[in-house]
Structure formats: structure tokens, C-alpha cells
């Protein structure tokens, strides 16, 4: 180890200059021959996010307004910033680097590190590896520069400062390669750049010569990190990038299917293959995207699952319910099902209490209930932000986290406690009032006399809307010993039995 740089490990840095503009040129290759800026915002306050080399030669630069950039370069082409386009270009760059080495790191948009250890027997020397990386990037429409050195920091500085497409820094010459590089290649925070500029530090060599203890005292951990970078050290570990898994199974059909039963059989086989892959990776499906190729057009559906599962039978039941409710408009010639996956941590019940249900069994139960009552009538109740009594809506079912059961009574034998039994739907009752107070109630084919009562408790809401409501609530004791709550709708004048106290 010399100055923190290992002579054994070799790392390549693949850098695409002006990456946001390069991503736009990748989609429209003709733009590479013209001055181009990528802007964000609407005129007249749209600002330049990135500019390609031709636009920068004409005076356009990031941070300018589009009007100012066009004044400096009238033939300027502009494209709006598109996050998906940038992400697609970065993914393509990573995949091409992964085709050269099994260990790559996604450092930043347009910046990828590649470990080259062990590639010399397969590809050749460092220059051959760099040329391979340049060619692979060119195949996906990106013009890259490659630097190869003993650390990621040195390789990045070499790629960003050299004029050649491929630059190799021999082992032991890292300090010489960094000495004259401008401080801007490190992309330090602006406040640190300003501080170092006031100290007269303009190059990495000047920063490396500063006393480390003094930097730590004046700039803290950020100053020590900057000193490490100026010495060519990598303060952060290498984080290998793994391509996101593609959870999809598809099947083309030898004949057209216009029967839902036959289609369910085909989907069942597709789901069996898909869930087998999910089980092998220890993940569960949280939603399904179904695409059916029809003789005329396509049929696409997205099904959100109430409970993550990888049970093919439960998923098949849900797909059958969905297709029965919204059948395809023509015969099916091909099917494809993709899963959006999540990881479900294992749960553990509390001591002395039953263990939580198995996710597979719970998902099967949810699927059967959904098929029985319909997706719109099954879920978890959620209170609506309203003062209306019992106002709620249904949200997708999710099991409660932790132990949400009621706390047990430590002394169940003691009396004096009442349990309120809510009646839903509240049955109508006939009430005889005297001075607006109920005195007799016909309830369950029996006439009951009110012997005691309290109320009314008056509530109302949404008076500004067509759904305005107002009600009175009474707590009443009947002569037969029944203690209950009655409610009177002041809009319609009807009475209902809301609850009974046991």
C-alpha cells in the first residue's frame, strides 16, 4: 500500500461528459451535431440544466436562463429535462459495464466504476480493457471516457482531465497524475470550494500538501475526506451494482382463446412458473401486471393484492375474478404476467398467544372473500375525516402490525362495566314522544315504556352541502331492563336503535 493506493487492485472509471445532454442525444442522434441544452421549467423562467460541448463552446452553460443561452447561441436546440430518459441511459451504461466485469458500481449519473482485477487474462492489458469499455458504451449511444488506476478517485480524475478516450495511470504514479488536476474534479461542496479558494488552493497537489491535522481542525470530517481524495484514496467502500430482477413470465398460444376457463388454465401455468421464481428468491408479490395480446389490440390490467403472497392458486383466483368482471374484448393470442415484489419479514407471536396466520393461508382467504363479495366490498375500514357518526371507507386489507387486540381486563369478575353493542345497520323503531322526549318505544314487536333517559346530544355537519345531516342521540332505560341508545334523524324525522348496553 503506497499513500493509500493498492498496487494490486485496478479500477476503471467510465465517465460520460454532460450526461443529461448525452441522454437526450442518445434518443435523438441528430442532436449530437448541434448545440443542445436541456432545460427545466416553463418559459420565460426555464433554466439550463445541462449543455453539450457544442453549446458550451458557444457560451451556453448550466444555470443560465434559456433566453440568455439562446441569445448567445441562436441556433440552439432545446429539450425538456426527462428523468426517465436519464435513468434509462444510466441503466444502459451499467449493463454494458457489467458485460465486461462482474463488479461495477453506480457512482452517479454518467459515472460508473468497474473493477478490472482478473480481466487481463480474458481481455488483455489495461488499455485493451479501457477500449472494450469505450466500445460497449458506444453501442448504446454514449461517448465515454475511461480512466484506469489503482483507486476509484485516481481513475475518475484521469478520466475527467485527460483528452484521450482511455487513460491508464501506472501503479506508483498516482500522485503525479493528481498533482496538477484542478480542484473542481472532486465535486466538493460549494462552501468548501470557496474556503479552499480563499486559502489559495487550486489543485489537488496543493490540497494534498496541506497538514491533515489542520484540515481536520478547521474543516472537520469533510476536510479529512477531501484530503483523502486529493491523495488518491477511496474513503468509501466499493458498492457493487446488481441489475434489478425482472419478475415476468409469458406464454404465446398456438391457438386463439375466447373462453375464460381455458384462459384461466393458461394463466395458472404462467403463475406457477412465476411464483416458483418468487419462492426461490424469498420474495412475495405485492401487485400483478397482466398483459393479454388480443387478435385486435391489447388488454392490460393491474391488480393490487390485499396481502403479499406467492400462492399461485390464490393469485389465479384473483385473476379469474378480475377477468370475469372485465373480460377482454377479443380472443387472446399471448399472455404475460409480471409481479411487483416485496420482502416480508418473518413474524413471531407473543408468548402464550396464537401465532399470526401464515401469509399463504391469509392470502388464500383474502382471495376467496374477494371473489365472494367483490373487490369493492372487501377491505379494512378507515375512518373518514368527518363528524358524521360511523363515517368510514374501505381501504385495501392489511394485517395489523404488532398486537392490536384489546387489553384483557385484569379483574374480569368485578361488576359495574357495560359493553356497548353497536347495531349495524341500525334498525328503525317507532317512538312516541312527549315534548320531544321519547316516552314509549316499539322494539322487537314489544311496546316498551321509557323509565329513565338522558339527552338529547345534538350533532350536525356538512350543512353547506347536499349531504347535510343532523341527529339527536338519547340514552334510554326501558321498563324491561333494556339500556340502549336511540337516534333521531332531524332531517327525515326517523328513529333508529343505534346500540344496546349489555
CB-CB contact of 17 with 107 (8 Å):
no
Distance of alpha carbon 39 from the chain centroid: 26
What angle (nearest 5°) sits at the alpha carbon of residue 360, between those of residues 354 and 361?
Answer: 55
Written as nine digits, the cell of 335 is 399472455
- Asked whether the beta carbons of 274 and 339 are under 8 A apart, the reply is yes
Instruction: Give the structural domain span for 259.
Output: 246-400
In a domain, 208, yes or no: yes
Radius of gyration of the chain (CA): 35
Please give the pLDDT value at position 380: 78
pLDDT at 421: 86
In the chain, what's the furthest Cα-to-Cα distance? 103
How far apart CA 204 and CA 185 sit, in angstroms, is: 9
The last residue of a domain, from among 218, 244, 270: 244
Return the sign of the alpha-carbon dihedral for residues 42, 47, 49, 50: positive
* Helix residue ranges per DSSP H, 111-241: 126-139, 152-161, 174-179, 190-198, 204-208, 212-219, 221-230
Is the same domain home to 279 and 170? no
Q: Is residue 239 part of a domain?
A: yes
In a domain, 216, yes or no: yes
**Total residue count of the chain as it appears in this document:** 502
The answer as to whether 138 is a domain residue is yes
Q: Are residues 390 and 426 in the same domain?
A: no
- Residue 410: inside a domain: no
CA neighbor of 309 nearest in space, from 274, 335, 336: 274
With respect to residue 63, please indicate whether it lies within any of the assigned structural domains: no
450 and 322 housed in the same domain: no
189 and 293 part of one domain: no
* 114 and 12 Cβ atoms separated by less than 8 Å: yes
DSSP, res 436: T
| Residues facing residue 91 across a β-bridge | none
Query: Whole-angstrom distance between the N-terminal and C-terminal Cα of the chain?
Result: 80
Please indicate, yes or no, whether residues 239 and 293 belong to a single structural domain of this protein.
Answer: no
Give me the pLDDT at residue 107, please.
92
Task: Tell whether 235 and 306 lie within a shared domain.
Answer: no
79 and 155 together in one domain:
yes
SS (H, E, C) 213-263: HHHHHHHCHHHHHHHHHHCCCCCCCCCCCCCCCCCEEEEEEEEEECCHHHH
pLDDT for the residue 403: 47
Quick one: DSSP state of residue 356?
A: P
pLDDT at 411: 52
348, 371, 400 - which closes a domain: 400
Look at residue 43 and tell me if it is in a domain.
no
Residue 152 CA to residue 231 CA, distance in Å, equals: 12
Same-domain check for residues 434 and 334: no
Distance CA 64, CA 48 (A): 6
**Hey, CA dihedral for 52, 54, 59, 60, is it positive or negative?**
negative
Q: What is the CATH number of the domain that holds 146?
A: 3.30.70.270
The CATH number given to whatever domain includes residue 327 is 3.30.1490.100
Per-residue pLDDT of the chain (502 residues; tens, 9 = 90+): 444 444 447 999 999 999 999 999 988 888 888 999 999 887 778 899 999 999 999 999 999 999 999 999 999 998 999 888 898 899 899 989 999 999 999 999 999 999 998 898 899 999 999 999 999 999 989 999 999 999 999 999 999 988 899 999 998 888 888 888 888 888 888 888 889 989 999 999 999 999 999 989 998 999 999 999 999 889 889 999 988 778 888 888 878 888 888 888 888 888 988 888 888 888 888 888 999 999 888 899 888 887 788 888 888 888 888 888 888 889 999 899 999 888 776 655 566 665 666 665 666 677 777 777 776 777 777 777 777 777 777 777 766 555 444 444 555 444 556 788 888 888 889 898 888 889 898 877 788 888 988 888 888 887 777 778 888 898 988 888 888 988 898 888 889 988 888 8
What phi and psi values does residue 116 have, to the nearest 5 degrees?
-105, 5
**Cα–Cα distance between 333 and 357 in angstroms, integer?**
39
One domain for residues 124 and 189: yes
Instruction: Kindly state whether residues 250 and 234 are assigned to the same domain.
Output: no
Give the residue from 101, 96, 124, 103 showing the smallest Cα distance to 16.
96
Are 47 and 66 a contacting pair, CB within 8 Å? yes
Is 238 found in the same domain as 94? yes
Domains: count for the chain: 3
Of 244, 272, 301, the position where a domain reaches its end is 244
Q: Is this prediction's pTM over 0.75?
A: no
Q: Does the residue 8 lie in any domain?
A: yes
Amino acid at each position: 500500500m503506497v499513500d493509500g493506493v493498492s498496487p494490486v487492485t485496478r479500477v476503471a472509471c467510465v465517465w460520460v461528459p454532460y450526461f443529461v445532454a448525452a441522454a437526450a442525444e442518445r434518443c435523438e442522434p441528430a442532436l449530437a451535431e448541434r448545440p443542445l441544452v436541456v432545460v427545466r421549467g416553463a418559459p420565460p423562467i426555464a433554466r439550463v440544466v445541462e449543455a453539450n460541448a457544442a453549446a458550451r463552446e458557444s457560451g451556453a452553460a448550466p444555470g443560465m436562463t434559456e433566453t440568455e443561452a439562446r441569445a448567445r447561441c441562436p441556433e440552439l436546440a432545446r429539450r425538456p429535462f426527462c428523468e426517465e430518459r436519464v435513468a434509462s441511459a444510466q441503466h444502459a451504461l451499467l449493463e454494458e459495464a457489467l458485460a465486461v466485469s462482474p463488479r461495477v458500481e453506480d457512482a452517479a449519473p454518467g459515472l460508473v466504476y468497474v473493477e478490472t482485477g482478473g480481466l487481463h487474462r480474458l481481455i488483455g492489458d489495461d488499455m485493451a480493457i479501457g477500449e472494450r469499455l469505450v466500445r460497449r458504451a458506444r453501442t448504446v449511444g454514449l461517448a465515454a471516457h475511461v480512466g484506469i488506476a489503482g483507486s476509484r478517485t485516481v481513475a475518475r480524475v484521469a478520466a475527467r482531465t485527460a483528452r484521450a478516450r482511455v487513460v491508464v495511470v501506472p501503479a506508483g504514479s498516482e500522485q503525479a497524475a493528481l498533482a496538477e488536476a484542478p480542484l473542481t474534479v472532486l465535486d466538493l461542496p460549494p462552501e468548501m470550494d470557496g474556503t479552499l479558494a480563499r486559502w489559495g488552493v487550486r489543485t489537488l497537489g496543493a490540497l494534498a500538501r496541506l497538514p491533515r491535522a489542520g484540515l481536520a481542525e478547521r474543516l472537520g470530517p469533510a476536510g479529512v475526506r477531501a484530503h483523502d481524495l486529493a491523495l488518491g484514496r477511496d474513503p468509501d467502500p466499493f458498492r457493487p451494482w446488481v441489475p434489478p430482477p425482472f419478475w415476468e413470465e409469458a406464454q404465446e398460444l398456438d391457438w386463439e382463446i375466447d373462453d375464460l376457463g381455458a384462459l384461466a388454465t393458461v394463466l395458472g401455468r404462467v403463475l406457477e412458473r412465476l411464483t416458483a421464481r418468487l419462492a426461490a428468491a424469498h420474495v412475495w408479490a405485492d401487485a400483478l401486471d397482466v398483459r393479454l395480446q388480443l387478435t385486435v389490440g391489447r388488454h392490460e390490467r393491474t391488480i393490487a393484492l390485499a396481502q403479499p403472497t406467492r400462492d399461485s392458486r390464490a393469485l389465479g383466483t384473483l385473476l379469474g375474478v378480475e377477468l370475469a368482471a372485465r373480460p377482454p374484448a377479443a380472443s387472446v393470442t399471448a399472455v404475460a404476467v409480471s409481479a411487483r415484489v416485496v420482502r416480508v419479514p418473518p413474524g413471531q407471536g407473543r408468548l402464550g398467544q396464537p401465532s399470526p396466520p401464515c401469509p399463504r393461508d391469509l392470502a388464500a382467504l383474502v382471495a376467496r372473500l374477494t371473489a365472494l363479495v367483490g373487490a369493492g366490498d372487501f377491505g379494512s375500514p378507515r375512518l373518514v375525516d368527518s363528524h358524521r357518526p360511523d363515517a368510514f371507507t374501505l381501504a385495501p386489507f392489511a394485517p395489523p402490525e404488532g398486537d392490536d387486540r384489546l387489553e384483557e381486563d385484569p379483574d374480569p369478575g368485578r361488576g359495574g362495566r357495560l359493553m356497548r353493542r353497536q347495531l349495524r345497520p341500525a334498525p328503525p323503531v317507532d317512538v312516541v314522544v312527549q315534548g320531544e322526549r321519547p316516552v314509549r318505544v316499539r322494539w322487537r314487536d314489544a311496546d316498551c315504556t321509557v323509565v329513565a333517559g338522558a339527552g338529547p346530544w345534538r350533532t350536525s355537519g356538512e350543512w353547506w352541502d347536499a349531504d347535510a345531516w343532523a341527529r339527536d342521540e338519547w340514552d334510554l332505560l326501558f321498563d324491561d331492563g333494556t339500556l340502549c341508545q336511540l337516534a333521531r334523524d332531524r332531517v327525515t324525522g326517523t328513529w333508529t336503535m343505534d346500540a344496546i348496553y349489555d
